[in-house]
Amino acid sequence: MTATTPQIIARKEEQIGWLIFNNPSRRNAVTLAMWEAIPSVLAAFEADPEVRVVVLTGAGNKAFVAGADISEFDQVRNSTDNVSYYAEQVSAANSAIAAIGKPTIAMIRGVCVGGGVGIALNCDIRISADDALFAIPAAKLGLGYGHAGLKQLVDLVGPSFAKEIFYTARLFSAAEALAMGLINRALPTAALESYVRDYCQTIAQNAPLTAQSVKQIIAQIVAEAPLDEAYCDRLVQICFESEDYIEGRQAFMEKRPPDFKGK
């Protein structure tokens, strides 16, 4: 077993590479150091010919990933340069998950929230415990969500469900997530890991070049048409520059309902 950082565990078991988010005291919320570590872990799995499939999961039974670790934002996002660097690391990590040529599975227990949903969306397959909970609480924090992440969600669940997820910012059950297509399977918690291991063995036994080529071709099929990315990015930036974003963060840390002003 190796760990690029104590909070990101990389482990290889026969033909399965495991990337484990190991921050259970904060429900596996992702720190900057964790975002930074993800690409190197995945690059090692990509380079290892013995690894045929990669599983991303959270330590413990309470969470897959409960979003980014907002508690460190005052330290790691306290200047324009730091904000840019942080965004680059999040983008690089998610891009690495999406770009790895080998099949990926998100094994989801407990809560899968915000950035955790984004991580899961970048995996090829999502297999969940039947008592897992899903949410994207952007509207409760006053933050914007980029077009790339929105497109991934819309491609998976359709525009109506995507709007419902964002407009309500509520928790969705695994049954609801399965019905809308957010996850592929929902299993009893006790059976989840053995099922995923068996699933990985099924994939590993098949031709890796076929899986890799299909993955790349499907990526081309679902690629978005040209759009005004600068405009979309500016809309997101407006959210991050707003008073409501400050209020959302403060309310989260103070464990109180936010009082948003729309400015």
Give the pLDDT confidence of 69-98 residue by residue, as tens digits.
888 888 888 888 888 898 899 999 999 999
* pLDDT for the residue 236: 83
Torsion angle, alpha carbons of 106, 62, 169, 119, to 10: -20
State how beta strands 63-66 and 104-108 pair.
unpaired
Residue 23 pLDDT exceeds 50: yes
pTM exceeds 0.95? no
pLDDT digits (tens, 9 = 90+) for 209-262: 889 888 988 888 887 666 677 888 888 888 888 888 888 888 888 989 989 888
Superfamily assignment of 2-189 in CATH?
Answer: 2-enoyl-CoA Hydratase; Chain A, domain 1 (3.90.226.10)
Confidence of residue 1 (pLDDT cuts 50, 70, 90): very low
Residue 66 pLDDT exceeds 80: yes
* pLDDT for the residue 222: 80
Bridge partners of 17? 12, 54
Q: Where are the beta strands (DSSP E) in the chain?
A: 2-5, 8-13, 16-21, 53-58, 63-66, 104-108, 111-113, 125-129, 133-135, 172-173, 185-187
% of the chain residues with pLDDT over 90: 65
State the Cα angle at 38 between 204 and 181, rounded to 5°.
Answer: 60
Neighbouring CB atoms inside 10 A of 235's CB total 13
135-172 core/surface letters (b: 16 or more CB in 10 A; e: else): bbbbbbbbbbbbbebbbbbbebbeeebbeebeeeeeeb
Residue 4 pLDDT exceeds 70: no
What are the structural domain ranges in the chain?
2-189
